[in-house]
Amino acid sequence: MRAHIEWMRSDEGGRDRPPSGEGSPPYTTVVRFDGESDLATDAWSLVVEKIEAPDPYSWTADVRFLVDEAPQELLTSGRRFELYEGKRLVAVGTLK
């Protein structure tokens, strides 16, 4: 599924710079969807593959769950999500 992702800058508590988002292995991190349970009890891994980046902190990307058993029904157009590295929020996105 396609998504728009905005990476948090280091002064916002995010990363020093976004991951490359290209190549192998792909960037994979923990995702939390708006309206779903908290990160500590219901975490899933999301694979993020950059398509284009008009700005290093603003991407269009293909996203998918790392495992088939993940709740695929959460991947619906318009759904907002957050990406975490540990407990640190590093990006926010919206599924297209």
Contact 62, 1 (CB under 8 A): yes
Nearest to 33 by CA among 45, 21, 22, 25: 45
Contact 9, 86 (CB under 8 A): no
pLDDT at 69: 93
Distance separating alpha carbons of residues 26 and 45, to the nearest angstrom: 12
Domain layout of the chain by residue ranges:
2-70
On whether the pTM is more than 0.95, the answer is: no
The pLDDT profile of the chain, 96 residues, written as one tens digit per residue, is: 999 999 999 999 999 999 999 999 999 999 999 877 665 556 899 999 999 999 999 999 999 999 999 999 999 999 999 999 998 999 999 999
